[in-house]
């Protein structure tokens, strides 16, 4: 992998990641862009104990442009985009409308492919492997920023999810705090360790799902994908490496080599859940990584956290979405219409032939 950092016209960092070592990336961004001004702040909720990001400047972000005006496609004659080059493998750049910036963290966009009409599931094994290397590199670099405590790599796919750009891409948020979801996991991890005399919660969950077998979707030599026993979403899959590591940088070569096959198969199954002729399945794919920072007082060590990916859709059946209504939004108590065992059965039924 060759990494070529450069700057856009307004000073934002852009990085080309190429599979070929002889790739040359020297095209200058010719756009007359003003410097980015952000208005984000982090406010603490004293009742719930969590943090909320207020980012009013994001109201003006680009919203569903036509394909020939997509800012994530390569530049071409007469049409300059966020990527100055006429082609690329994978590109990362600082978000023009970031939720987090400066002392409040950082937000990056990851363009998976120059093909506007593709999706992650259309990538080859080599392309998906390169994206994994990019996620890993960004995790390592962003974790070194003084303001950053946790790095979150994710992909939103589909208008139903709230995506405003159709080009296949993901994002990376570098938070200046540990997210509420992760704090809950860490508390459960510590409580389980105390209750069981030192056992690891993530290991026990994975062992339990593998022993039960009913919710296993697919298994490789180094990865296991399953629908969790208490799935929140209609179709939800958790993907774990067999060898526990706290973040993407800890994956060994064998796990990295196998990941594209397993993950691409999962995504392709998601697009077949609701049958032929259905529009692409909207989904969120989210990497959960251990935070950095001070671990004193947590009751566990950083190495006890288990890197894993959660993949889920808000579509519950053909033409119908799972809305977060009163119980979910008001009390954070999820009500799932699809039994996890039924979801796992369906995800096995639609396996590639």
Catalytic residues: 169
Distance CA 149, CA 290 (A): 9
Query: DSSP string spanning 309-347?
Result: EEEEESEEETTEE----IIIIIH-----SS-HHHHHHHH
Grouping H, G, I as helix, E, B as strand and the rest as coil, residue 105 is coil
Return d(Cα 20, Cα 302) in angstroms, integer: 35
d(Cα 113, Cα 123) in Å, to the nearest integer? 8
Tokens 């569903």 correspond to 64
Round to whole Å and give the CA distance between 234 and 284. Answer: 13
Q: CB–CB of 150/175 below 8 Å?
A: yes
Count other Cβ atoms within 10 Å, centred on residue 130.
21
Angle at 64 between CA 60 and CA 65, to 5 degrees: 95
CA distance 49 to 67: 42
Beta strands in the chain (DSSP E): 2-7, 13-18, 40-44, 51-55, 90-94, 106-111, 150-157, 169-175, 216-219, 223-226, 235-241, 283-288, 308-313, 315-317, 320-321
Cα 8 from chain centre: 24
Which of the 8 DSSP states describes residue 67? Answer: G
CA dist 20 and 14 (Å) reads 18
Pairwise CA distance, residues 283 & 158, whole Å: 7
Look at the chain and count its residues: 353
CA atoms within 13 A on the CB side of 245: 18
């Amino acid at each position: 992998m060759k990494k070529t950092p450069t700057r856009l016209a307004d000073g934002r960092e852009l990085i080309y990641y190429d599979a070929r070592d002889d790739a040359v990336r020297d095209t200058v961004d010719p756009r007359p862009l003003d410097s980015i001004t952000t208005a984000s702040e982090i406010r603490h909720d004293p009742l719930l104990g969590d943090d909320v990001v207020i980012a009013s400047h994001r109201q003006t972000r680009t919203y569903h442009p036509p394909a020939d005006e997509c800012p994530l496609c390569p530049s071409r004659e007469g049409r300059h985009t966020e990527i100055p080059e006429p082609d690329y493998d994978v590109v990362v750049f600082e978000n023009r409308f970031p939720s987090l910036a400066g002392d409040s963290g950082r937000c990056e966009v990851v363009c998976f492919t120059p093909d506007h009409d593709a999706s992650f599931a259309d990538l080859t094994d080599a392309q998906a492997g390169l994206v994994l290397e990019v996620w890993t590199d960004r995790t390592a670099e962003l974790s070194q920023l003084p303001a950053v405590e946790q790095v979150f790599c994710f992909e939103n796919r589909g208008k139903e999810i709230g995506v405003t750009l159709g080009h296949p891409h993901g994002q990376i948020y570098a938070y200046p705090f540990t997210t509420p979801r992760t704090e809950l996991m860490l508390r459960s991890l510590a409580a389980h360790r105390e209750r069981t005399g030192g056992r690891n919660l993530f290991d026990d969950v994975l062992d339990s799902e593998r022993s039960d077998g009913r919710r296993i979707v697919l298994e490789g030599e180094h990865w296991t994908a399953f629908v969790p026993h208490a799935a929140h979403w209609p179709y939800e899959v958790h993907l774990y490496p067999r060898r526990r590591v706290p973040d993407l940088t800890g994956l060994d070569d064998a796990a990295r080599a196998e990941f594209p096959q397993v993950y691409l198969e999962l995504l392709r199954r998601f697009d077949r859940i609701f049958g032929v002729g259905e529009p692409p399945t909207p989904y969120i794919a989210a990497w959960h990584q251990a935070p950095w920072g001070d671990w004193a007082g947590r009751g566990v060590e950083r190495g006890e956290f288990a890197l894993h990916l959660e993949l889920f859709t808000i579509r519950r059946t053909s033409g119908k979405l799972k809305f977060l209504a009163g119980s979910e939004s008001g009390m954070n108590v999820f009500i799932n219409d699809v039994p996890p065992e039924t979801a796992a059965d369906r995800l096995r039924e639609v396996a590639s032939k």
